[in-house]
Structure 1
Amino acid sequence: MTPTTPAPTPAHPALAAIEDAIRRHTGSAFRIASQHEIRGGSIHVALRIDDDVGSRYFVKLGEASRLPMFEAEADGLAAIASSASFRTPAVIACEADDTHAFLVLEWLELRPVTTAADGARCAEALVRLHRDTREHFGWPRDNFIGSTPQRNGHQANWARFVVDQRLRPQFELARANGYGGDLHRQGERLLDRVPALFLDYRPSASLLHGDLWHGNAAMLADGTPVIFDPAVHRGDRESDLAMSELFGGFPSSFYAEYRKAWPLHEDYEQRKMLYSLYHVLNHLNLFGKGYLREAMRLATRLNEELARRAD
């Protein structure tokens, strides 16, 4: 389920349980004949497993305590699949024993999103995903952004949701991780001012991927767009687009086609910084000091912009 070439790997102790789960959930006589580690993940062990008659699955493995992460991922994939937007890998099994947890997914042969046509198809699918709206922001369950817990309590006010369930927890975690000082002071100023970014903008509670960078999107051979590794919730569609821009990688046609189908509000560029800050703070908390300068830059620019608005 990844364009990365798998490498042969020694048998994992959880393979017997995985094989049993696949047999139970598919009603097949699946027997693992080979397994290959998939490179590129930073949280879990990822494997491609094959039998000797052509069946193949993608497996994420971790300690038993990781089961809630896998359950949240399975929930998000099912939600996106039900939206008739992107293709997602089907969930085969999600289980744990005393030692290991695992998520078994359909194996998909994928290629990167590279061409103008790819970008346009992804945009069309993203518009369909975002057109799936409800009354409240949030999600029925909390989930994860990377390995960081992500709160999703239902809320009617999006600005309060962003402050209470996105930015404040990340700033608090950054302070606990030793990144207080100027960053904390900028954060305290910003949290009081966030509602000013939504005075003339009332977003719909769209179904969001939640972690939409180019590494979580791909194409099938027939041109069908695929997304995976979601952090699903309902929120402002601009936040998905902001994340997609943060690390680059999507063709320009992706943004052009999206804006053509559903134009963005004129103040998107200011809110883009807000949504980017959430992910940069999360990367600071997950990966360390290399993201501190960018977190400070975004928080400072937002405070300066909001101070100008108040004048």
Structure 2
Amino acid sequence: MLTNDLKKHLEERFSFTIKSAQALRGGDINSVFHLKAKTNDVIVKVNKASVFPKMFQKESNGLTALRATEAIDVPEVLGYADYNSQTYLVMEYKPSGQINQEFWELFGQQLADLHRKTKEAFGFMEDNYIGSLPQYNRSAATASEFYREKRLKPQFQMAKDRGYEFENIEILYQKLDQIIPNEPPALIHGDLWSGNFLVNSNNKPCLIDPAVAYAPREMDLAMMKLFGGFDDLMYTTYQESFPFEKDWEDRMGLWQLYYILVHVNIFGGSYYKRAKDLIGYYV
């Protein structure tokens, strides 16, 4: 909730005068507001400080890492802090443009450019969040080790704690070294569904709400395909710029298993059966 007290604090900290505050749709975890000020507009995300510790600090670090690559547009983080019982993140406001055919070509090229940014090891500078769940990013030497230890195992344990049982998990773990290609780490968005990009005023893609890590690049593609919303031209352009490893399409379900498990642990329901079906396919 954007209280009057918090508004006053923001005005004092960021030296602007708020003319209006509009609540935006789509904030499943946080309350999101478009603040119109005399000098500039900003986006403010707000939550209770006790609910998700350091979430906005971690989101800020993820956005900053993506923005530093200059591969694709990302909102500038203006600041974050706890204030009284609330926590907030203030970002640059991005006016909207329109999607055209050139947009998808550019998106494919820029995502490929982002994925070329690499490190010696898989992981990230800190653990962060995937939606409302913790995401673990301690260093791993290989893609299969990272995916097994930092992605699948924590989600399977959470699911077990919630009463969901799975068979053949150990068999799946043993097969990962054979299935997953030995590619270097790539800087990925980490939660790239269609609700986590914008079209900026120059009709170019802009990434928001990341779950950043240096991870297998195919994970971004798998999340994109999981719920749709991306034109085929984007994949074609990506492939031309940064060709996929052999049999990449057959691995999409393997990467999607992580995101499906996240949904099992948040929503339950039909996602549970889908997760079991994916395990059955790969074992």
What is the TM-score of this pair, normalised by structure 1? 0.86
**Whole-angstrom distance in 2 between the partners of 1:124 and 1:217:** 15
Is 1:300 aligned to residue 280 of structure 2?
yes
Query: 1:22: how far off?
Result: 5.2
Alignment partner of 1:34 out of 4, 8, 20: 20
SS in 1 for 2:79: strand
CA pair 71-267 structure 1, distance change in 2 beyond 3 A:
same
CA pair 189-269 structure 1, distance change in 2 beyond 3 A:
same
CA pair 139-246 structure 1, distance change in 2 beyond 3 A:
same
* 8 Å Cα contact 1:22/1:92 also seen in 2: no
Alignment partner of 2:6 out of 6, 13, 17: 17
Query: 1:116: how far off?
Result: 2.5
Structure 1 partner of 2:95: 109
C-alpha deviations, 1:21-68, integer Å up to 9, x for none? 4543x4x3x1222211111121011111123x2521111110112351
CA pair 18-208 structure 1, distance change in 2 beyond 3 A:
farther
**Whole-angstrom distance in 2 between the partners of 1:109 and 1:38:** 13
Is 1:289 aligned to residue 269 of structure 2?
yes
In structure 1, the gaps of 5 or more residues are 1-10, 304-311
* 8 Å Cα contact 1:36/1:48 also seen in 2: yes
| Count of residues paired in the alignment | 282
Is 1:151 aligned to residue 136 of structure 2?
yes
Alignment partner of 1:123 out of 89, 92, 108: 108
With 97-106 and 274-283 compared, the bigger mean Cα shift is at 97-106
Structure 2 partner of 1:60: 45
C-alpha deviations, 1:225-274, integer Å up to 9, x for none? 20010011001111111111111101111001000111111121232111
**Whole-angstrom distance in 1 between the partners of 2:270 and 2:169:** 18
**Whole-angstrom distance in 2 between the partners of 1:167 and 1:268:** 19
**Whole-angstrom distance in 1 between the partners of 2:2 and 2:202:** 34
Query: 1:293: how far off?
Result: 1.8
Alignment partner of 2:231 out of 236, 240, 251: 251
Partner letter of residue 105 of structure 2? A
What is the TM-score of this pair, normalised by structure 2? 0.94
SS in 1 for 2:201: coil
Structure 2 partner of 1:195: 177
**Whole-angstrom distance in 2 between the partners of 1:154 and 1:17:** 38
| Identical counterparts, % of pairs | 33
SS in 2 for 1:33: strand
Query: 1:70: how far off?
Result: 0.8
SS in 2 for 1:144: strand
RMSD between aligned residues: 1.7
